[in-house]
Amino acid sequence: MTKNILNLISFVLLFFCFSIAKAQYTTKKVKTKHQAYTDSLKAVEYDRVLPIWGAGAYKQGFDIPYPLGVMANYIWMTQGITIDNMQLGLKTDTREFPLTDVDFIEFGENTNTSYSMNIRPDIWVLPFLNVYGLFGAGRTTTEVNLVAPVKMTSVVEQSIKTAGFGVMGAGGIGPVWISVDANFTWNKPELLEDPTQVNVLGMRIGHSFVFKERPDRNINVWVGGMRVHMATETRGSITLKDALPQETWDRKDEIVAGYYDWYENEATTKQKIIADQSLTPIVERIDARDGDAVIAYGMDKQTKQLWNGIVGGQYQMNKAWQLRTEFGIIGDRQSYLVSLNYRFLGPRKKG
Protein backbone atom coordinates (compact mmCIF):
# COMPACT_ATOMS: atom_id res chain seq x y z
CA MET A 1 0.00 0.00 0.00
CA THR A 2 2.73 2.46 0.97
CA LYS A 3 4.65 1.62 -2.19
CA ASN A 4 1.59 2.26 -4.34
CA ILE A 5 1.04 5.64 -2.70
CA LEU A 6 4.69 6.60 -3.27
CA ASN A 7 4.41 5.54 -6.91
CA LEU A 8 1.27 7.65 -7.31
CA ILE A 9 2.95 10.69 -5.76
CA SER A 10 5.97 10.22 -8.00
CA PHE A 11 3.72 10.00 -11.06
CA VAL A 12 1.89 13.21 -10.15
CA LEU A 13 5.15 15.07 -9.55
CA LEU A 14 6.65 13.82 -12.79
CA PHE A 15 3.50 14.91 -14.63
CA PHE A 16 4.05 18.44 -13.40
CA CYS A 17 7.74 18.19 -14.24
CA PHE A 18 6.91 17.45 -17.84
CA SER A 19 4.14 20.04 -18.01
CA ILE A 20 6.24 22.82 -16.61
CA ALA A 21 4.53 26.13 -16.29
CA LYS A 22 5.05 29.19 -18.32
CA ALA A 23 5.44 26.21 -20.40
CA GLN A 24 7.75 27.02 -23.14
CA TYR A 25 6.78 24.79 -26.07
CA THR A 26 6.75 21.73 -23.82
CA THR A 27 3.66 19.64 -24.35
CA LYS A 28 2.57 16.58 -26.27
CA LYS A 29 -0.29 18.51 -27.89
CA VAL A 30 1.92 20.99 -29.72
CA LYS A 31 5.14 19.06 -30.17
CA THR A 32 4.25 17.92 -33.70
CA LYS A 33 4.83 21.50 -34.87
CA HIS A 34 8.44 21.23 -33.73
CA GLN A 35 9.11 17.51 -34.06
CA ALA A 36 12.80 17.91 -34.87
CA TYR A 37 13.32 20.13 -31.86
CA THR A 38 11.40 17.76 -29.58
CA ASP A 39 13.43 14.80 -30.80
CA SER A 40 16.65 16.74 -30.16
CA LEU A 41 15.56 17.32 -26.57
CA LYS A 42 15.19 13.57 -26.03
CA ALA A 43 18.80 13.14 -27.09
CA VAL A 44 20.11 15.72 -24.61
CA GLU A 45 22.43 14.26 -21.98
CA TYR A 46 21.47 16.66 -19.21
CA ASP A 47 24.34 16.69 -16.73
CA ARG A 48 23.48 19.71 -14.57
CA VAL A 49 22.79 19.56 -10.84
CA LEU A 50 19.51 21.45 -11.06
CA PRO A 51 16.68 21.13 -11.43
CA ILE A 52 16.19 17.77 -9.78
CA TRP A 53 14.56 15.45 -12.34
CA GLY A 54 15.75 17.71 -15.13
CA ALA A 55 17.33 14.84 -17.06
CA GLY A 56 14.07 12.91 -16.93
CA ALA A 57 12.16 15.85 -18.36
CA TYR A 58 14.50 16.09 -21.34
CA LYS A 59 14.36 12.34 -22.02
CA GLN A 60 10.58 12.65 -22.34
CA GLY A 61 11.04 15.36 -24.96
CA PHE A 62 10.07 18.29 -22.79
CA ASP A 63 11.94 21.54 -22.52
CA ILE A 64 12.57 23.30 -19.22
CA PRO A 65 14.00 26.72 -18.36
CA TYR A 66 17.65 27.05 -17.45
CA PRO A 67 17.71 26.44 -13.68
CA LEU A 68 19.55 29.57 -12.48
CA GLY A 69 18.64 33.15 -13.18
CA VAL A 70 19.01 36.79 -12.19
CA MET A 71 16.18 39.21 -12.88
CA ALA A 72 16.34 43.01 -12.68
CA ASN A 73 12.95 44.63 -11.97
CA TYR A 74 11.55 48.14 -11.97
CA ILE A 75 8.19 48.41 -10.14
CA TRP A 76 5.84 51.39 -9.75
CA MET A 77 2.71 51.12 -7.61
CA THR A 78 0.00 53.37 -6.19
CA GLN A 79 -2.76 52.24 -3.84
CA GLY A 80 -5.13 53.44 -1.17
CA ILE A 81 -4.39 52.79 2.49
CA THR A 82 -6.50 52.75 5.64
CA ILE A 83 -5.31 54.01 9.02
CA ASP A 84 -6.61 53.00 12.44
CA ASN A 85 -5.53 53.23 16.09
CA MET A 86 -3.70 56.52 15.62
CA GLN A 87 -1.24 57.59 18.31
CA LEU A 88 0.57 60.92 18.43
CA GLY A 89 3.26 62.57 20.52
CA LEU A 90 5.58 65.55 20.19
CA LYS A 91 9.21 66.21 20.99
CA THR A 92 10.55 69.76 21.30
CA ASP A 93 13.74 71.23 22.71
CA THR A 94 12.05 71.80 26.08
CA ARG A 95 9.44 69.07 26.42
CA GLU A 96 8.44 65.59 25.26
CA PHE A 97 4.80 64.50 25.01
CA PRO A 98 4.39 60.69 25.07
CA LEU A 99 2.39 58.77 22.48
CA THR A 100 -1.34 59.14 23.16
CA ASP A 101 -4.27 57.30 21.56
CA VAL A 102 -6.24 59.77 19.44
CA ASP A 103 -9.37 57.85 18.50
CA PHE A 104 -11.42 60.83 17.34
CA ILE A 105 -9.23 61.70 14.34
CA GLU A 106 -11.03 61.02 11.05
CA PHE A 107 -9.23 60.37 7.79
CA GLY A 108 -10.19 60.98 4.19
CA GLU A 109 -8.58 59.31 1.19
CA ASN A 110 -5.02 58.22 1.94
CA THR A 111 -2.63 56.98 -0.72
CA ASN A 112 0.81 55.47 -1.02
CA THR A 113 2.86 55.69 -4.22
CA SER A 114 6.21 53.99 -4.53
CA TYR A 115 8.78 52.83 -7.01
CA SER A 116 11.71 50.51 -6.57
CA MET A 117 14.48 48.69 -8.37
CA ASN A 118 15.24 45.18 -7.19
CA ILE A 119 17.35 42.16 -8.07
CA ARG A 120 15.72 38.72 -8.01
CA PRO A 121 18.14 35.75 -8.08
CA ASP A 122 16.26 32.46 -8.44
CA ILE A 123 16.70 28.69 -8.71
CA TRP A 124 14.42 26.04 -10.23
CA VAL A 125 14.88 23.38 -7.55
CA LEU A 126 12.39 21.10 -9.32
CA PRO A 127 10.97 21.62 -12.81
CA PHE A 128 7.77 22.89 -11.15
CA LEU A 129 9.22 24.64 -8.07
CA ASN A 130 11.19 27.89 -8.06
CA VAL A 131 12.68 29.70 -5.05
CA TYR A 132 14.08 33.21 -5.15
CA GLY A 133 15.37 36.19 -3.19
CA LEU A 134 14.47 39.88 -3.47
CA PHE A 135 16.86 42.76 -2.75
CA GLY A 136 16.16 46.34 -3.70
CA ALA A 137 15.74 50.01 -2.92
CA GLY A 138 13.45 52.84 -3.96
CA ARG A 139 11.31 55.72 -2.75
CA THR A 140 7.84 55.94 -1.32
CA THR A 141 5.39 58.83 -0.89
CA THR A 142 2.48 58.62 1.55
CA GLU A 143 -0.30 61.21 1.54
CA VAL A 144 -2.53 61.26 4.63
CA ASN A 145 -5.61 63.50 4.70
CA LEU A 146 -7.19 64.46 8.03
CA VAL A 147 -10.79 65.65 7.80
CA ALA A 148 -11.60 65.98 11.53
CA PRO A 149 -11.12 67.59 13.96
CA VAL A 150 -9.21 69.76 11.48
CA LYS A 151 -8.64 69.49 7.74
CA MET A 152 -4.96 68.98 7.08
CA THR A 153 -2.74 67.03 4.68
CA SER A 154 0.54 65.33 5.42
CA VAL A 155 2.84 64.21 2.62
CA VAL A 156 5.89 62.15 3.55
CA GLU A 157 8.58 61.14 1.06
CA GLN A 158 11.32 58.76 2.08
CA SER A 159 13.73 56.19 0.74
CA ILE A 160 13.08 52.52 1.34
CA LYS A 161 15.15 49.33 1.31
CA THR A 162 13.73 45.86 0.68
CA ALA A 163 14.90 42.31 1.32
CA GLY A 164 12.98 39.04 1.24
CA PHE A 165 12.36 35.70 -0.41
CA GLY A 166 9.67 33.86 -2.33
CA VAL A 167 8.54 30.57 -3.81
CA MET A 168 6.64 29.80 -7.01
CA GLY A 169 4.87 26.63 -8.07
CA ALA A 170 3.94 26.16 -11.72
CA GLY A 171 2.44 23.62 -14.09
CA GLY A 172 0.67 23.42 -17.43
CA ILE A 173 -1.11 21.36 -20.05
CA GLY A 174 -0.51 22.14 -23.71
CA PRO A 175 0.30 25.80 -24.26
CA VAL A 176 -1.77 26.80 -21.21
CA TRP A 177 -0.01 27.20 -17.87
CA ILE A 178 -0.81 28.30 -14.33
CA SER A 179 1.45 29.59 -11.56
CA VAL A 180 1.09 30.50 -7.89
CA ASP A 181 3.72 32.86 -6.48
CA ALA A 182 4.16 33.99 -2.85
CA ASN A 183 6.85 36.26 -1.47
CA PHE A 184 7.66 37.76 1.91
CA THR A 185 9.63 40.99 2.11
CA TRP A 186 10.79 43.31 4.87
CA ASN A 187 10.67 46.96 3.83
CA LYS A 188 12.58 49.55 5.84
CA PRO A 189 11.56 53.18 5.18
CA GLU A 190 14.14 55.58 6.57
CA LEU A 191 11.68 57.23 8.99
CA LEU A 192 10.27 54.06 10.57
CA GLU A 193 11.79 52.43 13.61
CA ASP A 194 11.34 48.86 12.36
CA PRO A 195 10.92 47.20 8.94
CA THR A 196 7.38 46.49 7.74
CA GLN A 197 6.63 42.99 6.52
CA VAL A 198 4.71 42.81 3.24
CA ASN A 199 3.29 39.53 1.89
CA VAL A 200 2.37 39.26 -1.79
CA LEU A 201 0.42 36.39 -3.36
CA GLY A 202 0.09 36.20 -7.13
CA MET A 203 -1.94 33.76 -9.24
CA ARG A 204 -1.64 33.73 -13.03
CA ILE A 205 -2.99 31.72 -15.94
CA GLY A 206 -1.45 32.18 -19.35
CA HIS A 207 -0.79 30.94 -22.86
CA SER A 208 2.49 30.36 -24.69
CA PHE A 209 2.87 31.20 -28.38
CA VAL A 210 5.93 29.52 -29.86
CA PHE A 211 7.79 30.83 -32.93
CA LYS A 212 7.49 28.26 -35.71
CA GLU A 213 11.06 28.60 -36.95
CA ARG A 214 12.56 29.20 -33.49
CA PRO A 215 11.00 26.83 -30.91
CA ASP A 216 13.35 28.23 -28.23
CA ARG A 217 11.66 31.63 -28.73
CA ASN A 218 8.15 32.38 -27.52
CA ILE A 219 5.68 34.96 -26.29
CA ASN A 220 3.65 34.43 -23.14
CA VAL A 221 0.55 36.39 -22.17
CA TRP A 222 -1.40 36.04 -18.93
CA VAL A 223 -4.09 37.35 -16.63
CA GLY A 224 -4.40 36.87 -12.89
CA GLY A 225 -4.77 38.43 -9.50
CA MET A 226 -2.41 39.84 -6.84
CA ARG A 227 -2.99 40.10 -3.10
CA VAL A 228 -0.89 42.51 -1.01
CA HIS A 229 -1.01 42.39 2.78
CA MET A 230 1.25 44.36 5.10
CA ALA A 231 1.95 44.04 8.80
CA THR A 232 -0.34 46.57 10.39
CA GLU A 233 1.61 48.17 13.23
CA THR A 234 3.78 51.15 12.24
CA ARG A 235 5.87 53.36 14.50
CA GLY A 236 8.21 56.21 13.67
CA SER A 237 9.01 59.89 14.03
CA ILE A 238 9.33 62.83 11.66
CA THR A 239 9.90 66.57 11.84
CA LEU A 240 6.97 68.85 11.07
CA LYS A 241 8.80 70.36 8.11
CA ASP A 242 9.19 66.91 6.56
CA ALA A 243 5.61 65.83 7.35
CA LEU A 244 3.71 68.90 6.15
CA PRO A 245 3.80 70.20 2.56
CA GLN A 246 4.12 73.91 1.83
CA GLU A 247 0.39 74.09 1.13
CA THR A 248 -0.31 73.20 4.77
CA TRP A 249 2.07 75.86 6.07
CA ASP A 250 0.42 78.41 3.77
CA ARG A 251 -2.93 77.52 5.38
CA LYS A 252 -1.49 77.77 8.87
CA ASP A 253 -3.90 80.43 10.16
CA GLU A 254 -6.94 78.59 8.77
CA ILE A 255 -5.82 75.28 10.29
CA VAL A 256 -5.11 76.76 13.72
CA ALA A 257 -8.43 78.66 13.77
CA GLY A 258 -10.34 75.56 12.69
CA TYR A 259 -8.71 73.45 15.39
CA TYR A 260 -9.54 75.86 18.23
CA ASP A 261 -13.09 76.26 16.93
CA TRP A 262 -13.51 72.49 17.23
CA TYR A 263 -11.79 72.48 20.63
CA GLU A 264 -14.06 75.17 22.10
CA ASN A 265 -17.38 74.22 20.51
CA GLU A 266 -17.45 70.51 19.67
CA ALA A 267 -14.86 68.57 21.67
CA THR A 268 -16.04 66.59 24.67
CA THR A 269 -14.24 66.84 27.99
CA LYS A 270 -12.50 63.52 27.33
CA GLN A 271 -11.44 64.63 23.84
CA LYS A 272 -10.00 67.87 25.26
CA ILE A 273 -7.90 65.92 27.76
CA ILE A 274 -6.54 63.70 24.96
CA ALA A 275 -6.04 66.68 22.64
CA ASP A 276 -4.03 68.58 25.27
CA GLN A 277 -1.63 65.62 25.41
CA SER A 278 -1.24 65.21 21.64
CA LEU A 279 -2.94 67.50 19.10
CA THR A 280 -2.77 70.85 20.88
CA PRO A 281 1.05 70.82 21.25
CA ILE A 282 1.36 69.96 17.54
CA VAL A 283 -1.03 72.76 16.50
CA GLU A 284 0.93 75.19 18.68
CA ARG A 285 4.14 74.21 16.85
CA ILE A 286 2.41 74.72 13.50
CA ASP A 287 1.19 78.13 14.65
CA ALA A 288 4.75 79.03 15.68
CA ARG A 289 6.10 77.67 12.36
CA ASP A 290 8.42 75.39 14.29
CA GLY A 291 9.30 72.92 11.57
CA ASP A 292 12.03 71.32 13.66
CA ALA A 293 9.58 69.90 16.23
CA VAL A 294 9.44 66.11 15.97
CA ILE A 295 6.14 64.20 15.77
CA ALA A 296 6.23 60.66 17.15
CA TYR A 297 3.47 58.45 15.78
CA GLY A 298 2.04 54.98 15.85
CA MET A 299 -0.76 53.53 13.73
CA ASP A 300 -2.26 50.43 12.18
CA LYS A 301 -1.88 50.78 8.41
CA GLN A 302 -3.27 48.44 5.76
CA THR A 303 -3.93 48.41 2.02
CA LYS A 304 -7.43 49.62 1.17
CA GLN A 305 -8.07 46.58 -1.04
CA LEU A 306 -6.13 43.35 -0.72
CA TRP A 307 -6.74 42.06 -4.26
CA ASN A 308 -6.39 43.56 -7.72
CA GLY A 309 -6.31 42.19 -11.25
CA ILE A 310 -3.14 41.89 -13.36
CA VAL A 311 -2.29 41.35 -17.03
CA GLY A 312 1.14 40.74 -18.43
CA GLY A 313 3.36 39.45 -21.16
CA GLN A 314 6.86 38.06 -21.70
CA TYR A 315 9.06 37.82 -24.77
CA GLN A 316 11.61 35.02 -24.59
CA MET A 317 14.39 35.83 -27.04
CA ASN A 318 16.09 32.52 -26.25
CA LYS A 319 16.55 30.30 -23.22
CA ALA A 320 19.01 32.77 -21.72
CA TRP A 321 17.14 36.09 -22.09
CA GLN A 322 13.55 37.12 -21.34
CA LEU A 323 11.89 40.54 -21.27
CA ARG A 324 8.74 40.87 -19.17
CA THR A 325 6.10 43.48 -18.32
CA GLU A 326 3.00 43.43 -16.14
CA PHE A 327 0.22 45.88 -15.27
CA GLY A 328 -1.97 46.02 -12.20
CA ILE A 329 -5.54 46.88 -13.19
CA ILE A 330 -9.11 46.45 -11.90
CA GLY A 331 -9.26 47.60 -8.31
CA ASP A 332 -7.86 50.28 -6.09
CA ARG A 333 -4.23 49.28 -6.71
CA GLN A 334 -2.46 50.22 -9.94
CA SER A 335 1.02 49.00 -10.77
CA TYR A 336 3.56 48.63 -13.54
CA LEU A 337 6.49 46.24 -13.76
CA VAL A 338 9.21 45.80 -16.35
CA SER A 339 12.02 43.29 -15.97
CA LEU A 340 14.92 41.68 -17.77
CA ASN A 341 15.84 38.10 -16.90
CA TYR A 342 19.10 36.29 -17.64
CA ARG A 343 19.22 32.50 -17.14
CA PHE A 344 22.08 29.98 -17.20
CA LEU A 345 22.67 26.27 -16.66
CA GLY A 346 24.73 26.18 -13.48
CA PRO A 347 27.19 23.54 -12.24
CA ARG A 348 27.51 20.03 -13.69
CA LYS A 349 27.02 16.86 -11.72
CA LYS A 350 30.18 15.29 -10.39
CA GLY A 351 31.36 12.14 -12.05
Domain shared by 195 and 169, yes or no: yes
* Res 10 pLDDT > 80: no
Residues 137-176 have pLDDT tens digits of 999 999 999 999 989 999 999 999 999 999 999 988 878 9
Domain shared by 136 and 230, yes or no: yes
pLDDT band with cut points at 50, 70 and 90 for residue 32 = low
CB 108 within 8 A of CB 80: no
Would 28 be classed as within a structural domain? yes
Find all residues with CB under 8 Å of 50, minimum gap 6, and list them: 67, 68, 123, 124, 125, 346
How far apart are alpha carbons 23 and 62 in whole angstroms? 9
How far apart are alpha carbons 183 and 134 in whole angstroms? 9
Would 252 be classed as within a structural domain? yes
How far apart are alpha carbons 298 and 350 in whole angstroms? 55
* Res 38 pLDDT > 60: yes
Would 340 be classed as within a structural domain? no
pLDDT band with cut points at 50, 70 and 90 for residue 351 = low
- Looking at per-residue confidence, does 1 or 176 come out higher? 176
Q: What is the number of structural domains in the chain?
A: 2
| pLDDT of the residue at 6 | 38
Tell me which residue of 229, 179, 167 sits closest to 204, measured CA to CA: 179
Would 179 be classed as within a structural domain? yes
Domain shared by 14 and 161, yes or no: no
Alpha-carbon radius of gyration of the chain:
27
Would 215 be classed as within a structural domain? yes
How far apart are alpha carbons 60 and 74 in whole angstroms? 37
| pLDDT of the residue at 23 | 37
Domain shared by 20 and 158, yes or no: no
* Res 15 pLDDT > 70: no
- Looking at per-residue confidence, does 164 or 331 come out higher? 164
Q: 115 forms bridges with which residues in the sheet?
A: 76, 139
How far apart are alpha carbons 75 and 252 in whole angstroms? 36
Kindly list the distances between the CA atom of residue 165 and the CA atoms of 103, 134, 340, in Å, as whole numbers in the listed order: 36, 6, 19
| pLDDT of the residue at 228 | 94
- Looking at per-residue confidence, does 161 or 212 come out higher? 161
How far apart are alpha carbons 1 and 54 in whole angstroms? 28
How far apart are alpha carbons 147 and 142 in whole angstroms? 16
Reduced to 3 states (helix: H, G, I; strand: E, B; else coil), residue 243 is helix
| Average pLDDT, integer, range 253-279 | 94
Domain shared by 45 and 104, yes or no: no
Domain shared by 241 and 100, yes or no: yes
Would 119 be classed as within a structural domain? no
Would 116 be classed as within a structural domain? no
CB 281 within 8 A of CB 86: no
- Domain of residue 34 covers 2-59
Would 151 be classed as within a structural domain? yes
